[in-house]
Structure 1
Amino acid sequence: MANEAINKKDLNLYENDTIKPIVSFGLITDIHYTDNDDRWNYSETFLRRYRNSLKLVDQACNYWLNAKYPIAFLLQLGDLIDGLCSTDKTSEYDLNLILKQFRNISPIYHIWGNHELYNFTRNELLNGPLCSFDTKDIEPAHYGTIQVCSNLKIIAIDTYELSLLGIEKTSEMYNQAMNFLRKYNQNENVNDPSGLDGYQQRFIQLNGGLTQKQLCWLQEQLTKAESLNEKVIIIGHIPIHPNAGDELALLWNYGDVLNILWEFNNTVLAYIAGHSHEGAYFYDEKEIHHLTLQAIVECEPDTNAFATIHVYKEYLIIQGIGRINTYRIDLLK
């Protein structure tokens, strides 16, 4: 069962369990709020219901606030507001509006997606309500750790540290990202995947990658966790495995990250992301779970997409609501 979704009817086996979770916490991603009419996504396969996302966040918060086991914190995995807010000059107003929907849910740890970087510069994000980690030694990057309980840690990575988004075109990082991208994408518009085959289509502007500095930091954090016999869940906006999302929504240097995670496969339990709106799940060859959560913004009016992770002594239950399935992850491999 460790690598399979749980039938939602069977979830009662866990909900009726007399053993209280050690801790529970929430997951939500790709809300994309903007005060705009519904419109199709870029591939015209799913309708994006921008205003409906406010209602769905409200429903999620009501669920968490009235749950049998209230959540200790919330992980928001990026794209909180849509890039259209920037076009409409409403970014700050819309951000404050969606944040108010979370009411008494606290603390919330935010991951930055591409749409945060369409609306704000990195410096603005570092000095605003979406900065969730101590970035003193890594600015303008945004990554860090969360201690869930004595033997479980979350590592949040910045999947846009190497990126064209949210930074000045004259900056060294912009030039570094552009030079990296131009090795693979020669199109006039670097957000155009034309001529790129398969997973090479990831080399477009809406994705990003990790710098060598962050990769070294990630390895150091996993080495430390291993020495303490801790288990780790890693979170980021962009998926890092080709089988955990679509071809366009994949980290530029996903292989570098996977190689590090696979080195610590007895420590790393899962990688959880957003960005690929249809969602996906894959259990890789090193027994690491890759879960890409479905987007709030593309939910039908009568459904939702959020999850709660319940931590028990020997396993985790990722309890999905609406479009998201429910999974069990064993702590002992």
Structure 2
Amino acid sequence: MSPQQHQPQHRSSSSSLTAHQSNSNSTSDDNTNTPPAYTFGLLTDIQHAPIPDGHSFTGNARYYRHAMEAAASAAQHFQEERVNCVVNLGDIIDGKCADVQRWGGEVDTKEETQSNGDKIISIFVFELYNLSRDRLAEKLNIPFTLEDTGDLVGYYTHLIENCNQNDEEHSSSSSMKLRALVLDTYDLCLLDRCPDSSHKRHRAHEILSANNHNYPHEENSPEGLEGTNRRFVAFNGGIDEPQLEWLRCSLEMARENEEKVIVFSHQPIHPDSTWPTCLVWNYDEVLDILRSYKDVIIASFSGHAHKGGYVRDEESGIHFRSVEAILESSPPIKTYAIVDVFEDKLVIRGEGDCLSDVYDIDHTKVKLKV
């Protein structure tokens, strides 16, 4: 994806932090002798391509070949840390892989191009510029849902297992049950949707036509759009009603089962956590649902906004973090994070350009009347 196209400067306000600020909602003491209840690896926007280094449309340097090396280094670190799981927030392979020779690459055959894609996928999920949803389901075992419209959509939940419970050194006495909830923010989109038969592509066309006067001739340009309306560009997407209903039901079930939830998506959901050009088209609908389950949801992590960003939602207390991209870290910098989940906080151990931080989760202690 190219979320930096036509980007304005990242905003800073009392309720929003840029990627170069620390979290004022952190707990003061991030050291503990108690093992975390869960630990997971986190990385995003590798966007590997077998081409020379280049730049985004706004001039940000991109290190295509180094990204694969950085991802492999992250994978090794995750293994050493014995994390419970690894979360990749999307954009594994850059869209330029579709025509590497045009961008200065030296791939001679289609098979070799595919081989590069297979290599990076084998290291670590959502790459619609290069692979269809059918292919992703086959390679990554993603449990896509086939909706009544005939469209595949990739939303699902996973109860994270504590793999270290029998390991005395790393085990935790915490009774916390932690669920990962993965959203498909390209549910409604132009990418990998049949122009003739896809209901969701037709909806995406209607949304862009109604909200962006540059569409379809300059479909990725927010030129002339103001504020959060800049999100209506073709490299973004939205979430359709069946997935929204599934989200409500999943969160309700988590509440009933006394589980805590971390939400993962490629596109950011909170308007103060990122540039407006990167937001989910109907972020407001999604945010309303999440706020209704603030006793359940610890945090929401996303990629897509390469320089990162953070806000703690004032209404709910939920933490919204856009994670810094691997792609735009110059060699030898390797950007990713390891996240420790404790009963009372999240500890973000950032590597490379990913900022470390500590987020208290006191908002989840308040029982809501439902």
Deviation digits for residues 280-302 of structure 1 (CA, Å, limit 9, x no counterpart): 01111120101000000000213
Contact 2:54-2:62 within 8 A present in 1 as well: yes
Shift of residue 6 of structure 1? 7.3
Does 1 or 2 have the higher relative contact order (CA < 8 Å, sep 6+)? 2
Shift of residue 134 of structure 1? 5.2
Which of 67, 78, 81 is the aligned partner of 2:93? Answer: 81
Partner of residue 203, structure 2 = 176
Deviation digits for residues 221-245 of structure 1 (CA, Å, limit 9, x no counterpart): 1111112222111000000111111
Partner of residue 296, structure 1 = 326
TM-score, normalising length: structure 1: 0.87
Answering whether residue 230 of structure 2 is matched by residue 215 of structure 1, we say no
Partner of residue 105, structure 1 = none
Partner of residue 230, structure 1 = 259
How many correspondences in the alignment? 312
Partner of residue 122, structure 1 = 133
* Residue ranges of structure 1 left out of the alignment (5+ in a row): 103-107
Answering whether residue 114 of structure 2 is matched by residue 92 of structure 1, we say yes
Shift of residue 251 of structure 1? 0.6
Shift of residue 206 of structure 1? 0.2
Distance change >3 Å, CA 169–CA 136, structure 1 → 2:
closer
Larger radius of gyration: 2
Partner of residue 316, structure 1 = 346
Give the whole-Å Cα distance in 1 for the aligned partners of 2:301 and 2:80. Answer: 25
Shift of residue 318 of structure 1? 2.1
Q: Counterparts in 2 of 1:151-190, with a 5 A limit?
A: 151-170=177-196, 171-187=198-214, 188-190=217-219
Identity of aligned residues (%): 31
Partner of residue 367, structure 2 = none
Q: Counterparts in 2 of 1:53-68, with a 5 A limit?
A: 53-67=67-81
TM-score, normalising length: structure 2: 0.79
Give the whole-Å Cα distance in 1 for the aligned partners of 2:145 and 2:187. Answer: 12
Aligned-pair Cα RMSD in Å:
2.2
Contact 1:3-1:289 within 8 A present in 2 as well: no
Distance change >3 Å, CA 4–CA 321, structure 1 → 2:
farther
Q: Counterparts in 2 of 1:137-156, with a 5 A limit?
A: 140-149=152-161, 151-156=177-182
Partner of 2:248, secondary structure, is: helix
Distance change >3 Å, CA 3–CA 228, structure 1 → 2:
farther
Give the whole-Å Cα distance in 2 for the aligned partners of 1:99 and 1:86. Answer: 16
Shift of residue 55 of structure 1? 1.6
Partner of residue 38, structure 1 = 53
- Which has the larger displacement, 289-298 or 150-159? 150-159
Deviation digits for residues 38-60 of structure 1 (CA, Å, limit 9, x no counterpart): 1111111x200000112211221
